[in-house]
Structure 1
Amino acid sequence: MLRGPVLMRSEGAQASTYDQRLLELGADHDWQHADPWRILRIQGEFVSGFDALSGLPKAVTVFGSARLGENTPEYALGRKLGAALTEAGYAVITGGGPGLMEAANRGASEAGGLSVGLGIELPHEQSLNKWVDLGLNFRYFFARKTMFLKYSQAFVTLPGGFGTMDELFEVLCMVQTGKVTNFPIVLLGVDFYSGLLEWAHDQLLGKGLISEVDTDLYLLTDSVEEAVHHIVHRHHVMTDGRLKEPTTTDQVEN
């Protein structure tokens, strides 16, 4: 059982998570004394994450369902994606869990790449999968989300549920508002995402809630090759320092 970053083998399931206890004020009658310690714990998660990931090379975050396992076509697609991203020179970051997260980590690991997992404390799905080379487990979603955004330069979303949708729309919002500027977004699964994008076109764009240019923020495809090519091509015209090849001067200075 993972309690934040701590592995507990002798205790059973807990009644609530750190996130839940933070947000449910009424459940904590000693909040005046507990919140200062929570601030330090939150600070510690950011410090641990920055410390562990600060040397990460250029990377792509892959999200998808924890519920689609090894015998599904989506798992095979995620595994192929992880390998292709590795072959294109990227580290692969996932939420570190089972299902499609495991598939992308597995593909990257089997191809000899760097496979990163950023897990979260939940009542279920708590263990990092065995294909993670570098793994961190977080108590708080917002600290974990910061790491995804800070240490990756592209985002690929496979089919998934509420968690995947949350990550997708957060990244779309961050790119739309210019909070992150080097972040190609790929939706991998035409049948799965077509209805959502049609709704966005009809309702969001149709009612003027987003701009026409916002529909260019993402690529929808079924092709791993097209997805990786799109990321590589977009990164040729982007400015993130981690994307450029080191010059002779850089090599001498380092």
Structure 2
Amino acid sequence: MGIEKIVADEKLKEYCELQKETNSRSKRSRRRQKKMSAVQKLYETCKEVFASGGTGVVPPESDIERLKSILDTMTEKDVGLRPNMPYFRKKTDDPVNNITYLQVHECDKFSIGIFCLPPSGAIPLHNHPGMTVFSKLLFGTVHVKSYDWVKDDVPGNTIADSNHLDIKHPKLQLAKVKVNSEFTAPCNTSILYPADGGNMHCFTAVTACAVLDVLGPPYSDPNGRHCTYYLDFPFSSHAVDGVTVPEEETEGHAWLQERDYPEDFRMVGKVYSGPRIVEN
């Protein structure tokens, strides 16, 4: 009986010690979660959402909503930005449209970055081939215009009126306007997809503003995800054989034409100095 009691006491002691250690780990885990920055939460969620992603792969709706819910609550404070920083001041003596880009994280599955736009600063019309893109306005007011390709491509693209066209890239493609509106923070995150949602878009700052972008997967020339810039023309400005659009919808359509990298646009990379991401 004495030996049995000693064994029972030892097991009880081991069980109590195990419970103390488990409770301690649980408390430490809860403390880590409470201390985790919004940027770290964003990074951890992106790792899960885009883990099996690739060109043209759209995450499940539940994952999209999970990532969107984190972005929806974020502001400039979560990434260490202030509206009075030099990034957001327009240089009146510089004819070039300078936009600052802060790279928060990039890997082969996704990228997280911040575009800092001074008043009247603009990111020209460009595409996101094979990507799912989340854009969150952190502060300020921005005008967004976006397009999706019309599914039935233009037969022959025969141009009757070539005024103002870039003769190096003569082909016109028909696109439909998805968004043409101003947004003021706080507002919900916008999402575009590989084939819809406004895959081609441009930003124009009404006031100084910052846009947090998540791309999955990121741009990659070797993998065919090259950023292409476009000129856009009203539908009525060009006559193209074989194309008909109902008169009441002409304002919602436009011709897009590829262009070289805009000479008056400069993306200036700066070091991100907000809360750090701990990679694991």
Structure with bigger gyration radius: 2
TM-score (norm 2): 0.28
Structure with greater proportional strand content: 2
Structure with greater proportional helix content: 1
